[in-house]
Amino acid sequence: MKLSKILKLGFIATALALTLTACGDEGKKISDILPEKPATGQAGDGNLEQIVEYIRIDAGLPALAAVLVHDGQIIEMAATGSRSINSNKTVTIEDKWHLGSLTKSMTSTLAAILVKQGVLSWSTTVADVYPELSGVMNVKYENIRLDQLLSHTSGMRANLPGVNSYQNSSLDIESQRQKMVEEALILSQEVEQGNFLYSNLGYMVAGAMMERVTSTSWETLLENNLFTNLAMSSSGFGVPDVQGNLSQPVGHLSEGSGWKSNNTDNPAVMGPAGIVHSSLEDMGNYIAAHLVGARGNEVTGLLTAGEFRKLHTAMENSNYSLGWAVTDSSLQHNGSNTKWLADVKIFPGKNTALFIVTNAADLQKEQNSQSFKAVANLADELVKRADSAFVN
């Protein structure tokens, strides 16, 4: 099925949005500048920006953005707020947003493409790819399969101890990942193989395996096999504002009752687990492809319905498949590098998918997280708008 967009919505944030940037200095309350709550309306009515702006201001976020997809097409998208809490540079719908662990489904999709190409299989083991480490690695890791790494059932630890030491490594990225694998495979298991434990490290090892069998970096593999095929021309790796000049949004950490900008990311060695950034349109194209696949259809040039089924089917004794949390009615995942929060929900039965992102995260506040509540509120609004427009 051809993926296309039929409507773009969203504009540069209004002067009202800019007021929030300085409200902390002026001592204003959110209630002083919060506009009247807009009606939910229906998808495609031109009012999404007002809804995004209301939720953003109510939560006190620097910026908030969303895209809604139906039947393989982008229906509407909007972005409001500032690229930095300390700047009046407003976000646009062309801006790029950090995805955090939404990257995991991309790494799994790449794996499915490589399996289709015959480069490896879902049953390819760590020992198959790293035979030179047999007798050196923890013996329990030798028979770990690729699909176990991607479903968090490998038994590997959640994270690599000391991973931040890679932040300023002088090694090229493939050498960094080889070194990481050698360190990871001598560690003890955190849980028994076959049990679920969410593991960034498992995804890092899986990405390194793909590099080894193709002699190509994970980044290049993703660009050539996923970004190009889905017209994701504005996607890349690491922080979007790579030059540090606010040409793109920057992330924010919680500070007191407000936010502090922070333009850092996890080390590149963690790439397969969570360092991709994308534009709203790119993410619309991406979730549209998975929506098509989740409805039992092929995406020409990417994957067949059966190959999508493998990605979207939860593993035994788990509600997680390969890069997706699975419910009775949806595929979903969120992601954060602790300075951004992104969320994807795909509803095959409704033929609808959505992506929401903010350049701020305060997840350590748990139920009091403003970023989490804003993303959840906006998701509810988008679902209602889609239902109003498309459900009879």
Pairing state between β 4-5 and 73-81: parallel
Do 211 and 247 belong to one domain? no
My answer on whether 94 and 139 are in the same domain is no
**By residue range, what is the domain housing residue 210?**
123-192+201-222
Note whether 368 and 244 are same-domain residues. Answer: yes
pLDDT at 391: 87
Q: Is residue 111 part of a domain?
A: no
Specify if 118 maps to a domain.
Answer: no
Q: How many domains does the chain fold into? A: 2
178 and 284 assigned to the same domain? no
Q: What pLDDT sits at residue 27?
A: 36
Q: Is residue 109 part of a domain?
A: no
Whether 114 maps to a domain, the answer reads: no
Q: Please indicate, yes or no, whether residues 263 and 315 belong to a single structural domain of this protein.
A: yes
Query: Is residue 128 located within the same domain as residue 14?
Result: no
Residue with tokens 């049953």: 123
pTM of the entire predicted model:
0.92
Together in a domain, 386 and 246: yes
54 occurs within a structural domain: yes
* Contact criterion met (CB below 8 Å) for 281 and 234: yes
DSSP per-residue codes, 166-228:
GTT--S-HHHHHHHHHHHHTTSPPSS-TTS----HHHHHHHHHHHHHHHTS-HHHHHIIIIIT
Which residue pairs from 217-221 have beta carbons closer than 8 angstroms and sit at least 24 positions apart in sequence? 217/173, 217/174, 218/107, 218/110, 218/173, 218/177, 218/271, 218/272, 219/173, 219/271, 221/110, 221/114
The reply to whether 211 and 230 lie within a common domain is: no
88 and 130 share one domain: no
66 forms bridges with which residues in the sheet?
Answer: 78, 356
| CB-based contact 104:334 (threshold 8 Å) | no
Q: What is the CATH number of the domain that holds 262?
A: 3.40.710.10
Return the bridge partners of 261, or none.
Answer: 252
Radius of gyration, alpha carbons of the chain: 21
* 62, 82 Cβ separation under 8 angstroms: yes
Q: Considering only the C-alpha atoms of the chain, give the largest distance between any 2 of them, rounded to a whole number of Å.
A: 66
Q: What are phi and psi for residue 353, nearest 5 degrees?
A: -145, 155
Q: What is the pLDDT of residue 16?
A: 30
User: pLDDT tens digits, the chain, 392 residues: what are they?
Assistant: 333 333 333 222 222 332 333 333 333 444 456 779 999 999 999 999 999 999 999 999 999 999 999 999 999 999 999 999 999 999 999 999 999 999 999 999 999 999 999 999 999 999 999 999 999 999 999 999 999 999 999 999 999 999 999 999 999 999 999 999 999 999 999 999 999 999 999 999 999 999 999 999 999 999 999 999 999 999 999 999 999 999 999 999 999 989 999 999 999 999 999 999 999 999 999 999 999 999 999 999 999 999 999 999 999 889 999 999 999 999 999 999 999 999 999 999 999 999 999 999 999 999 899 999 999 999 999 999 999 999 86
Co-location of 77 and 157 in the same domain: no
Q: Which of 267, 273, 260 is nearest to 336 (CA)?
A: 273
* C-alpha distance across the termini of the chain, in Å: 24
Reference 137, options 180, 175, 171, 177; nearest CA is: 180
175 and 242, same domain (yes or no): no
Q: What is the pLDDT of residue 34?
A: 76
Strands annotated E in the chain: 4-5, 63-70, 73-81, 96-98, 236-237, 251-255, 258-262, 276-279, 325-326, 331-335, 341-347, 352-358
* 117 domain residue, yes or no: no
